């Protein structure tokens, strides 16, 4: 998740969409947002 966000400059909605494409289930948009915030990554647009 962190790698997707930092390497591509994606926001949390795009990261969530890519996780779902990779078959990762049960992750909410809020979870992605909180993880990115905890890692000091701006959860962009």
Output the pTM of the full model. 0.79
What pLDDT is stored for residue 9 in this prediction? 86
Domain of residue 29, residue span: 2-38
Place of tokens 């997707």: 4
Sort 42 into a burial class: Cβ within 10 Å, 0-12 / 13-18 / 19+.
exposed
Summarize pLDDT for 8-45 with one digit per residue, the tens.
888 888 999 999 999 999 999 999 999 999 999 887 66
28 within some domain: yes
24 within some domain: yes
What pLDDT is stored for residue 45 in this prediction? 63
> Domain tally for the chain?
1
């Amino acid at each position: 998740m962190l790698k997707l966000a930092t390497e591509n400059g994606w926001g949390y909605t795009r990261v969530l969409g890519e996780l779902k494409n990779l078959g990762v289930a049960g992750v909410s948009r809020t979870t992605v947002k909180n993880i990115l915030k905890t890692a000091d990554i701006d959860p962009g647009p």
